[in-house]
Amino acid sequence: MNIQVLVAAMHQTDHSLLEKMHLKTDAIVANQCNRNSIEDFEWNGCKIRYLNFAERGVGLNRNNALMRASGDVCLFADDDMVYVDDYTEIVQKAFERYPDADVIAFNLIEPKITRYVIKKAYKVGFLSYLRFGTARVAVRLKSIREKGIYFNQCFGGGTEHSHGEDNIFLTDCLRKGLKMYAVPEYIAKLTEERPSTWKNGYDEKYFHDQGALYRMISPRWWKLLCLQDAVRHRKLYECNWLKAFLAMVG
């Protein structure tokens, strides 16, 4: 099983990211910067490709790597991640344990826990998939390609709607019949050494974009999704749930 890491990066001027991320597999680094070039080379016995493009948008960036991917299993990554020593074996064993899996979500190590922690393995469905982002996900490339699944380029950092491209991607995976599992193993650590490229707190823009995301996910039930979000996260948002809800649907 060939495992390949697809990294969404910005403003890389050299190849030091490979060592920094502790990569031990083939990789494609989609680097949004101010130049256009493609670099192919070998590094520590791994095949590396840098895609340097003068453009913006995280969905576009991930698609640039995904379109050129060649691994049996692909991991999506951001440039502030450091992989654990045995991530290759962890991912391979997970797919061997669940041979029908098309998508598997793993845990990420955080300095301060903000993401959902998987404590036991389970099959992921429509009631639980929104808790996962693509930076903790591995996919069978053949499954994704056969279903024509790519990232929405209108959502995510650098686009009109500043987040949600990963939620839409996983929505498409489930809608098109792919099987997804969550496993409790940790594959990487988040350094969080750079500020978010999109998040400026839970302001009007955030709520507007969250509403647009739910409308994209479910045109029929999007207002109900906005309502549950506003009520469930009322302490996190630090504002009246009705105000948050109205901002989402407004």
The residues near 113 (Cβ < 8 Å, ≥ 6 apart) are: none
Q: What is the pLDDT of residues 174-229, one digit of tens each?
A: 999 999 999 999 999 998 765 555 556 788 899 999 999 999 999 999 999 999 99
Q: What is the pLDDT of residues 239-249, one digit of tens each?
A: 889 999 999 99
Provide the domain count of the chain.
2
Q: What is the pLDDT of residues 33-65, one digit of tens each?
A: 999 999 999 999 999 999 999 999 999 999 999
Q: What is the pLDDT of residue 158?
A: 86
In Å, how far are 206, 218, 237 from 243, measured between CA atoms?
Answer: 13, 22, 10
Q: Which CATH number fits the domain that encloses residue 136?
A: 3.90.550.10
Tell whether 153 and 236 lie within a shared domain. Answer: no
Tell whether 242 and 177 lie within a shared domain. Answer: no
> Which of 155, 190, 225 marks a domain boundary?
190
Tell whether 92 and 213 lie within a shared domain. Answer: no
Please say whether the beta carbons of 35 and 14 come within 8 A: no
195 within a domain of the structure (yes/no): no
29 within a domain of the structure (yes/no): yes
> Which of 190, 213, 237 marks a domain boundary?
190
Tell whether 152 and 217 lie within a shared domain. Answer: no
199 within a domain of the structure (yes/no): no
Range of the domain at 22: 3-190
Q: Which amino acid is at 225?
A: L
Vertex 234: Cα angle to 228 and 235 (nearest 5): 140
